[in-house]
Amino acid sequence: MNKSPHVKRHERLQRRLKGGQATLSLTSLMDIFTILVFFLLVNSSNPAKLPDTKDLKLPQSIAEKDPKENLVVMITNKDILVQDMQVSSVAAVMALKNDIIPALSTELKYRASKTTPPLNEQGVPEREITILGDQNTPYSVIRKVMATCSDSDYAKISFAVVRGGKK
């Protein structure tokens, strides 16, 4: 008896479903996990990396502590940036009569409203901030940036430096 093409196709499908067990290729899976492990090892070595910039030359120091991951204020020769976003120019800051920089204060207060900081014993929020200042930045500009940070509830101020100073 001659079978129709439809019947033959159905029989082939039945044979494939009965005997065909799915196999898992462990070699490919192990390759993926190995690459994932190496990726995580390389990227977890220094979680707090400071931004790189060509316009900035940090002062040298003998400091041994690694930077923490927190908000970064960068003072270049021309601009003041918060997380790589320009908020003011150095010339405008030097022309200010008072110590508080309005544009920087607005940006810091906005960023402070996005997080809930730990409170100290007096109930005052203790936010942390890192200042990257060019080694040729005038002290008056750094003082105004620090005063603005303190006024905006960023009491723990750290300065970024390059290791390798004289002991």
Strands 162-163 and 60-61: parallel
Tokens representing 9 are: 């196709």
Residue 144 CB partners (closer than 8 Å, separation 6+): 93, 96, 99, 100, 101
pLDDT: is 145 or 167 the higher one?
A: 145
- The CA-based angle 35-41-46, given to 5 degrees, is 145
For the segment 152-165, the average pLDDT, to the nearest whole number, is: 76
Give me the pLDDT at residue 99, please.
87
Give me the pLDDT at residue 154, please.
84
CA–CA dist 95, 140 (Å, integer): 10
Give me the pLDDT at residue 30, please.
86
Hey, what's the torsion of the CAs at 137, 143, 145, 146, to 10 degrees?
Answer: 130
Give me the pLDDT at residue 54, please.
63
CA–CA dist 81, 133 (Å, integer): 10
Give me the pLDDT at residue 116, please.
78
Give me the pLDDT at residue 51, please.
60
CA–CA dist 81, 127 (Å, integer): 18
Give me the pLDDT at residue 14, please.
82
- Contact assessment for residue 76 and residue 55, using Cβ atoms and an 8 Å cutoff: yes
pLDDT band at residue 65, thresholds of 50, 70 and 90? low
pLDDT: is 27 or 139 the higher one?
A: 139
Please state the φ and ψ torsions of residue 85, each to the nearest 5 degrees: -115, 125
How would you label 46-73 residue by residue, b for 16+ Cβ within 10 Å and e otherwise?
A: eeeeeeeeeebebeeeeeeeebeeebbb
Give me the pLDDT at residue 157, please.
85
| Residue recorded with tokens 């996990």 | 33
CA–CA dist 126, 157 (Å, integer): 10
pLDDT band at residue 69, thresholds of 50, 70 and 90? confident
Q: Percentage of the chain with pLDDT > 90?
A: 1
Task: Summarize pLDDT for 115-144 with one digit per residue, the tens.
Answer: 777 777 777 777 888 888 877 888 888 899
